[in-house]
Amino acid sequence: MDRIIIRGGRRLEGEIPISGAKNAALTLLPCALLTDEPLTLRNLPRLADVDSFGHLLNQLGVSITVEGSKPKDFGRVMTLRASNVASTVAPYDIVRKMRASILVLGPLLARAGEATVSLPGGCAIGNRPIDLHLKALEELGAEIELTAGYVRATAPKGGLVGGRITFPIVSVGATENALMAAVLAKGTTVIENAAREPEITDLAKCLVAMGADIEGLRTDTLTIRGKDKLHGATYAVMPDRIEAGSYACAAAITGGSVLLGGARRETMPAILSGLTDAGVHVADEPGGIRISANGEIKPLTLSTAPYPAFPTDMQAQFMAMLALANGTSLLTESIFENRYMHVPELNRMGADIEVRGRSAVVRGVKALTGAPVMATDLRASMSLVLAGLAAQGETQVARVYHLDRGYERLEEKLQAVGADIERASDG
């Protein structure tokens, strides 16, 4: 099993290219099921989750070709074609590895009239039920049955029909599944209290490029007029705002100056606002966003919430940065109930963090010390890397397969801006 070894204390300086967004890519890939024509996705990140999703789509009958990229390039160009849907069953062996697999449910149901999908797995960061996904599809006429760990959904004779979907709480995944199902439903569908994350807008833009009729982009009300058929398209995956925010924290925690190449300010307002409030300098440049820090980090009070508020996927990274702040910070996790598993590992490195229910009190310390630590989930993994970059001595991060799910060639990108970081294998 691989480990990441970091010898901390180096100031980061230079440019880090931001890859295509993991969360957007995993939403765009199942769009291939909605048409029998080719869908070409550019700027697709090289990630374990993307590969796993590709294997799932292969089993469903999607042919995949990768072109125009060398092994050492960041990103890929992938063409997917579902000329026929060979299977409507997404098996447990694949779905258990990655929660995003549930996003084949809506497209399969819309295109083939039925879908059988294993209940999803993914990171152990708390309870994430799919009841809102299922209720949304029922509003479009689907019949849902839960049996033996699988969801079986069947469309009425003649296909899904338009309806009004009102989510009681904001759900990114449920919005995505409902949107993909609605584009082929007969009639008009209105989705109220829809998630507004940039990845939702990216999905809608891709669907429009494929011939879908969608109004209300970037708002919490989406109106979809169903089409009989969608066509192929070529679409570029948006830059990853969470990766950009993570490397922004790397620049801040090391007192460095890093250009986040290709990052888009409009997709990450709360992240950049939080950095500014912490005393980090944020500046737009022609090639992206520059993050600069002088080593002095101010404490913050932050609470995670749906977009455009502060994202739960940045909580762990900000916590690592604030562990070295001059004062006490308060972080509140309102999305997931079990997303502080990185706290004991950060405390092993000398941080002073106390969890109180859904809140964490972070008392800034003068320095962190390198130590062997273990990753528990994707974003927690990155928080340990960030702490290691600033710590005195050597940090070894175990179970880095979590990192490989969401950060494309992390060591290479950090080495390029001056970090002393490498990957080692126990085998």
How many whole angstroms separate alpha carbon 55 and alpha carbon 50?
Answer: 9
- DSSP states of 23-59 as a string? HHHHHHGGGGGG-SS-EEEEEE---HHHHHHHHHHHH
Instruction: Please count the CA atoms within 13 angstroms of the CA of 191 that sit on its side-chain side.
Output: 37
Residues 362 and 330: beta-carbon distance below 8 Å: yes
Mapping DSSP to helix (H, G, I), strand (E, B) and coil, where does residue 94 land? helix
Angle at the Cα of 19 from the Cα atoms of 41 and 349, rounded to 5 degrees: 145
Cβ atoms of 57 and 33 within 8 Å: the answer is yes
Q: What is the signed CA dihedral for 410, 415, 416, 419, rounded to 10 degrees?
A: 110
Could you tell me how many helices (H) and strands (E) the chain has, helices first?
14, 24
Catalytic residue among 31, 123, 206, 249: 123
Q: Which residues of 167-190 are buried (b: 16+ CB within 10 A; e: fewer)?
A: beebbbbbbbbbbbbbbbbbebbb
123 has catalytic annotation? yes
In terms of Cα–Cα distance, which of 369, 348, 275, 358 is closest to 318?
A: 275
| Residues annotated catalytic, as ranges | 123
